[in-house]
Structure 1
């Protein structure tokens, strides 16, 4: 099946829409945040893309720290240090040239502001791909990967993501500060996201591609 070239702008809502596979196109130094609740398919999507871009993934930071810690030391003891290190690595990645993919839940307001600040400071376009899957589908995804979030943590992510989606409906991309585009995808639409490319301006979306308010 032919893959359609697609450059999201504003709010691009793919939820509930069928269509051909899409290759997302962004500028050469764009930062693309891939967000969603735990189990929504962020890691799977990033592996499928296999993009020639830098990748910031909190799991990689956690595993690197675990490798240096005594095996008997519980993760909650050094979790604050892991989170601080991840923030520092993310900030440092914005300084380096070239495209960047950021794996993040996107539900924390302070992290959204930090990403916007770093993008603005280093002259980068900021884009978001938000996997807005149903909670039951996300839970199934957690069980499939044999890595589950604590129930309280998961519920908190679900509530925060729901609030973010409501703000996006009301305010457009302004709900995610600094974002040039926010692409919303449910589980079927996620399967359409065949790849991501970075380069010169990709131009408008292809014929029949959806765009929500502000798109």
Structure 2
């Protein structure tokens, strides 16, 4: 089935689509933007990003990279004591990347409002637009994802992530919510939609031809 499309200027806030249940082979953003890929622990963000990147002209940042760099020096210490240092190193790398020539993709949970504000504020100061890509999965599937990667989050912490994720989706669904003021677009995908993606590009703003579900769905995003 051919994709529906609507023109959406890049600078227009509140632009975005719910693509859960759709199959879109490519997402295409403007060059030199910041793309935040978010989801609860175990959602599949790392799997998706490792499959689609690296790409020329794109800088991929994940706090796990900072953790791996510091672990030879601090690995003998329980991680909870040096986690703040990992986050500080991660955001320092992000600030440097935002001042470079590449498009930037950053891996985040999306469940820490302060971190999202910090990132979008840094992008704005670097004269970049921020786009959110939200990977929405069932908590049971996310727990299975944690088991598969042998990286389990504490039960209480995971419950907090799930609760805040639901709050985030509620905010996205409200056009008047302030979350729409700090970003150019918000796109929601699920696991099947993520699996169907073959590329995330940074040379326009469009969703390539899509296979839509049987029920009516949203128009897909396309812009010059």
1:55 aligns with 2:38: no
SS of the counterpart of 1:171?
coil
CA shift, 1:28, in A, is 1.4
Conservation of the 8 A alpha-carbon contact between 1:14 and 1:183: yes
57-66 or 119-128: which moved more?
119-128
- Counterpart residue number, 2:28: 25
How many Å apart are 1:177 and its aligned residue?
A: 4.4
TM-score (norm 1): 0.85
CA shift at 1:178, angstroms?
1.9
Partner of residue 107 from structure 1, selected from 90, 93, 111: 111
2:36 paired with 1:37: no
Residues 1:163 and 2:167 aligned together: yes
- In the alignment of these two chains, the number of paired residues is 209
Structure 1 residues 65, 207: closer, same or farther in 2, change over 3 A?
A: closer
Q: 2:21 is matched with which residue: 10, 16, 20?
A: 16
Specify whether residues 30 and 84 from structure 1 end up closer, same or farther in structure 2 by C-alpha distance, changes over 3 A only.
Answer: same
Q: Is 2:83 the partner of 1:79?
A: yes
Query: How far 1:174 sits from its partner (Å)?
Result: 4.3
1:125/1:180 contact within 8 Å kept: yes
> Deviation per CA, 1:120-171, whole angstroms, max 9, x where unpaired?
1111121111001110010111111111111111111111110000011112
Structure 2 stretches lacking a partner, 5+ long: none
Counterpart of 1:190 in structure 2 is 194
In structure 2, the partner of 1:152 is: 156
Unaligned runs of 5+ in 1: none
SS of match in other structure, 1:144 = helix
- Name the structure 1 match of 2:94: 90
The separation in 2 between residues aligned to 1:112 and 1:178, in whole angstroms, is 9
Q: For residues 65-88 of structure 1, what are the alpha-carbon distances to aligned partners after superposition, in whole Å with 9 as ceiling and x for unaligned?
A: 11122x432222222222222222
Q: CA deviation at 1:211?
A: 4.0
